[in-house]
Amino acid sequence: MEAKKHNTSLARSLTKAAAVVWLPVALLHIEAALAKTPVAIELVLAVDTSMSIDAFEYDLLMKGIASAFRAPEVVTLIGQHDGVAVMLFQWSSEIDERYTIPWQLLKDPASISAFAAKVEKAERNPNRVFTGIGTAIDYGVRSITENAFDGHLLNIDVSGDGRNNIGVPPSISRREASALGIVINGLPILTHIVGYSNGIPTSTEDDFYDLDTYYRENVIFGPGAFVETANDYDDFARAFLRKLLREIAPQISQEDTVPRTLIQETHARRRNAYDRR
């Protein structure tokens, strides 16, 4: 009997000790979840900087994005929302986080102007390799699941001038994103076909190829997903502004948006499974 009482007392002591150790940890996780800043939209801008895009074209892309955010109609629309969280990263075969613009909360003209200035001055990743659209989508998903915001709408915007030619197919990545309530929109830039021979880009005699159809069939996904096409690099600024206006003034309500905690838990499980491969 005495031994049984001793064991019961020991078990209670261990339980209390465990509670002392783990309760603060649990509270920290709860506080972290509650600390998420609610916003109307989380927007990831994934910009193609692969080998097919030269320095002049890169400059057109960044100036076009900055100009769109400075447009009076965009500033007005953002001001009507309960905050718009936005980040930008460059992609090719891989993503180098040193060349990303981290998440920014846009709520007023000053914060919007500051973000536009960062975009315009963004240094280009010198590692210009192949076109990994699936890799870009995966990174966009990670950026959304790990940020400090809780958005009603979750969007990844992929802009580029070519088809996926390395890494995970975008058709797979986009379905995983959609399962987490993330919508993927596309901005294909129509250019002449570029083939590759031993890693060297080679032009062909063909005219423009149907990149917008490729984006519709393989890249965009989710409720209200759309493609906005730029006819060439000079047309990018116009196309990006039109795309941005559609994204911050969405016509489709996502009433069945996946709960944020479920998004994070699901993504964490998938990352753990990937790490074990």
Which residue ranges of the chain lie beneath pLDDT 70?
Answer: 1-34, 192-209, 250-277
Report the pLDDT value the prediction gives residue 100, as an integer from 0 to 100: 97
Which contacts of 95-100 are long-range, i.e. CB under 8 A and separated by 24 or more positions? Answer: 95/135, 95/136, 95/139, 96/125, 96/127, 98/125, 99/123, 99/124, 99/125
Report the pLDDT value the prediction gives residue 32, as an integer from 0 to 100: 47
Which contacts of 191-198 are long-range, i.e. CB under 8 A and separated by 24 or more positions? Answer: 191/52, 191/161, 191/162, 191/232, 191/233, 194/52, 194/162, 196/130, 196/165
Report the pLDDT value the prediction gives residue 11, as an integer from 0 to 100: 45
Report the pLDDT value the prediction gives residue 128, as an integer from 0 to 100: 81
d(CA 89, CA 98): 9
Report the pLDDT value the prediction gives residue 27, as an integer from 0 to 100: 41
d(CA 276, CA 78): 41
Helix residue ranges per DSSP H, the chain: 2-34, 55-70, 72-80, 109-120, 133-145, 170-179, 211-218, 236-248, 260-275
pTM for this structure?
Answer: 0.77
Cα–Cα nearest to 55, from 126, 153, 148, 149: 126
Report the pLDDT value the prediction gives residue 129, as an integer from 0 to 100: 87
